[in-house]
A = this chain, B = another copy of it.
């Protein structure tokens, strides 16, 4: 647990790291907590329609860097994760989730049946273009969740939207898989040369983005 002031300090400490120290590595216990944050991130209906690929392979990193307009974070960060969304949702995905709930919670046959009916009722969420957008949104939510986690562990991050997802899919062999690339995310420690670390935060005044009624 943190105090409100400690949390505000962490928020000010965090920034989108532009230049990582390539020599600074994340300790295993710290990385484990960040993988847990991915694993336990909340999702709509708990469906977890996502997959996270931790890319340690140097050659793949170089290729992904090229497919990211050569943004150096992809290459230099201690850890680099590719965040993927499901291409589409099948009945079998709903059943997989319900079976998992059954396994974990030991739910009754009856509750499983009613969960399945409920999920089917929501299926408009994941159909067509709206569905694609819905699944991408889930992945962004996970990115925000883990970015906040990293700040509390004083691990620097950069969420990477400036990538070519189709090239990532190609490099990672995702084209015939049920998943497609949505975002990248770099984790590590800021280089002392990253001038951005010292810059003031560019945000609109609070009352422009938050109102009360």
Contact = CB atoms under 8 A, between A and B. Distances in A.
Interface in A185-212: 199-204, 206, 209-212
A212 B79 CA distance: 11
Contact of A147 (B54, B145, B153): B145
A42 B16 contact: yes
Contacts of A42: 14, 16, 144, 147, 159
**What interface size band does chain A fall in?**
35 or more
A142 interface: yes
Given A48-B204, A101-B202, A203-B40, A212 B56 contact: yes
Interface in A30-44: 30, 32-33, 35-42, 44
A101 B181 CA distance: 31
A91 interface: no
A1 interface: yes
Contact of A39 (B10, B105, B132, B206): B206
